[in-house]
Amino acid sequence: MNICRKEVQHMENKLKSFINQFSKILSEPLPGLNAQSLMIPPTRRKQIEAFENVNDAKLSAVLVLFYETEEDIRFVLIRRAKYEGVHSGQIALPGGQFEDSDNNLTETALREAEEEIGIDAKKVKLLGALSPLYIPPSHFKVFPYVGCYPEKPDFKVDGTETTEIIEISLSDFYNPEFQTEKEVKTRNGTKVTVPCFYLKENIVWGATAMILGEMFYLLKQIKD
């Protein structure tokens, strides 16, 4: 698609305004569980609410990565590969477990994103962080970081941990029709109805939905 210089400048200004506003919002006290709670699966509520008492959880980090296209501002989700684990095949944010070689959890998020979706971690500008949360089924404490990319990434599916990259436009994410409830199958085969985001015909639930729930709450404060 060919677009004129004026339209390009408009998109650049829109992205710059978005980044400036969101960075400021992330520097202020976060709502945490108050915003995440709308997306807590009913079977996990008591365990998640006991987050502050969990001291031995494994550490992990994920990245919410924003970027602009010729049409809009987007962020990226992934589909995890199928494996013998509790998050097999689920829709998630790029990220993974803290490793001894990581200096901090920020490095974890950037390293994992580079491995899973093929971005250049050095190009990511970090805007801040969302509230951490506890994931009972895998006994992880996950720390979500927010960043932006200077151009539309040339995504690459690693094929080992990630089988699909899903680009989500902010206009779709803002649409309240995509916040709903769906039936999912848990790791023990039980079917349960959970609150979720339904994005591009994908059910986004559990910890990822909770992270996005807080992000949605914060993004509502941004002015066009």
Q: Give domain limits for the chain.
A: 5-168+206-219
Position 194 pLDDT exceeds 70: yes
Report the C-alpha gap between 190 and 188 in whole angstroms.
6
- Read off the tokens for 149: 């990319």
- Percentage of the chain exceeding pLDDT 70: 88
SS3 of residue 149 by DSSP: coil
| Strand ranges inside the chain, DSSP E | 58-68, 73-80, 91-92, 95-97, 125-129, 133-135, 140-148, 162-169, 179-185, 191-199, 202-204
Position 4 pLDDT exceeds 70: no
Place 5 in a pLDDT band, splitting at 50, 70 and 90: very low
Q: In 10 A of CB 42, how many CB atoms?
A: 10
Please give the angle made by the CA atoms of 116, 166 and 215, to the nearest 5 degrees.
Answer: 90
**Single pTM value for the model:** 0.90
Which residues does 204 contact at the CB level (< 8 Å), separation at least 6?
A: 77, 91, 196, 197, 198, 212
Residue 128's pLDDT is what? 97
Residue 15's pLDDT is what? 85
Place 51 in a pLDDT band, splitting at 50, 70 and 90: low
Q: What is the pLDDT of residues 12-25, one digit of tens each?
A: 678 899 999 999 99
Greater confidence, 90 or 153? 153
Residue 186's pLDDT is what? 75
Residue 83's pLDDT is what? 58
Q: What is the pLDDT of residues 52-108, one digit of tens each?
A: 666 788 999 999 999 999 889 999 999 988 755 555 678 999 999 999 999 999 999
Closest CA to 206 of 191, 174, 184: 184
CATH number of 5-168+206-219: 3.90.79.10
